[in-house]
Amino acid sequence: MTESIAPPTPGQAEARSTRDLAKVAVSGWLGTAMEFMDFQLYSLAAAIVFNKIFFPDVSPVIGLIAAMATYGVGYVARLFGAVYFGRMGDRIGRKKVLYITIALMGASTTLIGVLPTYAMVGIWAPILLVALRLIQGFGAGAEIAGATVMLAEFASARRRGVISSLVCLGTNSGTLGASALWAILVASLSQEDLLSWGWRIPFLASFLIMIFAIWIRRSIKESPVFEQRADVVDGVALTKDKIKTAAAKAPELKGTSTIEAALHQKKGKSFLIALGLRFGQAGNSGLVQTFLVGYLATVLLADKTVGTNAIMYGSLLGFVTIPLIGLLGDRFGRRPLYIALSALTALYAIPMMLMITSGNTAIITIAMVIGLNLGVLSLFAMESVTMAEFFGARTRFTQLALAKEIGGILATAIGPLLAATLTAVTGHWWPLAAMVIGYSLITLVSAAVGPEVRGRDLVRLEDAV
C-alpha cells in the first residue's frame, strides 16, 4: 500500500487560539531567559569564585584561565546540541525538543549549585563542573533556535516580526536577572560566606524557573506549520527514502512534486546568507557586551562600574528597541531594515570609539547604550524572524540552530580575543572600530544579496534561495 504524503486538510490541523500563541510566547521567553541567565550566572561565577573553589591549588591567574576554559566548553557543546536537537526538531516536532532542552539546561544548572568543591573531593570537583557545563551547553544549543522557530511558525504573517522578537526579550531578562542576583550577593555577603555557600544560591534559584517553564511547555501545542508540512505523516517527518519510494509508486500523489522539489533543491545559499546576517549581531555583541567592558577598566582605566552600568542601561532600553524593530520589520520588510541598521552601525563605529575614549563617564555610557541597541539588539530582533523565513520547513530548525551557533563561535567567541590582540599590538582603539565596521559590512552585503522574505509561507519545504 502506498504511503500517503499529502498535506493535511484544514480540518485535520488543529486550530490555534490567541491563548495558544500567548503560551508559546511565554514559553519562548522563559526558555531564552533561562539560557542567558545560566550562561551569565556561570560567566560571573567563573570570574568571581570558581577559580578559588574549584581550582585552588594553582596560581590565581591559572585558576581564572581554568575557570574560563570550563565556561568555553559550553560553546563547543552548543554546536553539537544544535545539530542533534535541530535534526530531532525537524523530524519529530518542535514541542518535544523544547521540552527536552529546557529540562537539560535547568537540571544541569541546578546541579552546579550542589556540586562538592575541590576541598571536599579534590580533582573530581572540576571534572563534575565541566561535565555539567557540557550538558548545559548541549541543551542550550537548540533552545533559542527552537523558541524562535515556534514563535515564527505560530505567528500570523503580518505580525511575525514583532512576535518573533519576543524571544530576544528573554535574553535581556536572563542577563539582567543573573547580573542582579550576583550584584546582591557580592554586596550583601562577606567574601568567606560567598565562597562557602553564597555562590550556590543563583544556581539553585534557577530550579524554580525550570519547573515553571516545564509546566508551561507541557501545555503548549505543536507548531501548526510542522503539522501542515507535506512530508509529515502521523506527527513524524518521512525520511528521504520513504519519500522517494512513495513518489516512485505513485508519482501523481498529491504533495509528491512539492516534496521532491525541496529534496532536490541545492542547499547552501540561504545558510550562507543567514550566517552573514548573524555576523553583525554576534560580532558586535562580543565587542560591545564583552570586550569593551574590560577595555574600559583595564586599558582606559575607567571605573569598573562604567561599562557594566552602560550595558545594564542599554539592556533596559532594549525592552523598547526590540519590539519596535520587530514592528518596523513587519511594516517595511526585513531586507531594507537590515541594510539600514548595518549601514548605520558601520557609520557609528568611529564616533562610538571617540566617545568611549573621551574619558567622560556620561558620554561613554551614551556611546555604549547606542552601540548596544543599534548594532546588537536591533539586529537580534531582525535575526530571529528573518532566519526562520529564510529556511524551508523541512530543515528550518537544524539550519537556524547551526547558523546561530557557528556564527556565535566565529564572531562572539573569537572576536574578543582578536580585539585584545589587535589593541595590544597597536596600542590604539582603531582596530575595534575596524572590527565593528567589518562585521556590519558582512551583514550589509548579506542582506543586499539576499531576497526579501517578509511574509513568506513557512509551510513551504524549500529554502528561500
* Per-residue pLDDT tens over the stretch 253-276: 445 566 766 677 778 899 999 999
pLDDT, greater one: 230 or 109:
109
Lowest-pLDDT choice from 12-16, 24-28, 106-110, 333-337: 12-16
Lowest-pLDDT choice from 12-26, 430-444, 450-464: 12-26
Asked whether residue 456 is domain-assigned, the answer is no
Asked whether residue 229 is domain-assigned, the answer is no
* CA atoms within 13 A of residue 49's CA, in its CB half-sphere: 26
Do 277 and 411 lie in a common domain?
Answer: yes
User: How far, CA to CA in Å, does 284 sit from each of 31, 45, 148, 280, 433?
Assistant: 23, 24, 21, 6, 10
Confidence of residue 161 (pLDDT cuts 50, 70, 90): very high
Residue with cell string 531578562: 173
Asked whether residue 67 is domain-assigned, the answer is yes
Asked whether residue 352 is domain-assigned, the answer is yes
Q: According to the model, what pLDDT value does residue 127 have?
A: 85
Region 232-260 average pLDDT: 67
The answer to whether 161 touches 336, Cβ cutoff 8 Å, is: no
Q: According to the model, what pLDDT value does residue 62 have?
A: 59
Local structure of 464: helix, strand or coil: coil
Q: According to the model, what pLDDT value does residue 8 have?
A: 38
Q: According to the model, what pLDDT value does residue 7 have?
A: 40
State the pTM of this model: 0.85
Do 216 and 273 lie in a common domain?
Answer: no
Q: How far apart are CA 368 and CA 297, in angstroms?
A: 14
Asked whether residue 445 is domain-assigned, the answer is yes
Do 200 and 297 lie in a common domain?
Answer: no
Do 77 and 136 lie in a common domain?
Answer: yes
- Number of domains within the chain: 2
Asked whether residue 349 is domain-assigned, the answer is yes
Do 331 and 429 lie in a common domain?
Answer: yes
Do 301 and 384 lie in a common domain?
Answer: yes
418's enclosing H/E stretch is helix 414-426
Do 54 and 140 lie in a common domain?
Answer: yes
Do 72 and 191 lie in a common domain?
Answer: yes
Residue 204: domain span: 18-223
What value does the mean pLDDT of the chain take?
Answer: 84
Q: Which of 144, 30, 199, 115 is nearest to 388 (CA)?
A: 144
Task: Return left, alpha or beta for 418; rule: phi > 0 is left, psi -120 to 50 is alpha, else beta.
Answer: alpha
| The last residue of a domain, from among 168, 200, 223 | 223
Kindly give the residue spans of alpha helices, DSSP state H, lying in 46-93. 51-53, 60-92
How far from the centroid of its chain's Cα atoms is residue 182's Cα?
Answer: 22
384's enclosing H/E stretch is helix 378-390
Q: According to the model, what pLDDT value does residue 205 have?
A: 86
Confidence of residue 9 (pLDDT cuts 50, 70, 90): very low
Asked whether residue 244 is domain-assigned, the answer is no
Separate counts of helices (H) and strands (E) for the chain: 23, 2
| The last residue of a domain, from among 223, 254, 277 | 223
Do 215 and 274 lie in a common domain?
Answer: no
Do 206 and 344 lie in a common domain?
Answer: no
Lowest-pLDDT choice from 69-78, 152-161, 408-417: 69-78
Q: Using the predicted structure, report yes or no on whether residue 135 has a pLDDT greater than 50.
A: yes
Do 60 and 197 lie in a common domain?
Answer: yes
Q: How far apart are CA 67 and CA 53, in angstroms?
A: 10
Q: Determine what percent of the chain is predicted with pLDDT higher than 90.
A: 38
**What CATH number is given to the structural domain containing 57?**
1.20.1250.20
Asked whether residue 7 is domain-assigned, the answer is no
The answer to whether 358 touches 429, Cβ cutoff 8 Å, is: no
Region 19-43 average pLDDT: 82
pLDDT digits (tens, 9 = 90+) for 34-85: 887 877 777 667 667 777 787 776 556 555 555 556 656 777 888 999 999 9
Do 202 and 313 lie in a common domain?
Answer: no
Kindly give the residue spans of alpha helices, DSSP state H, lying in 223-268. 224-228, 240-249, 256-264
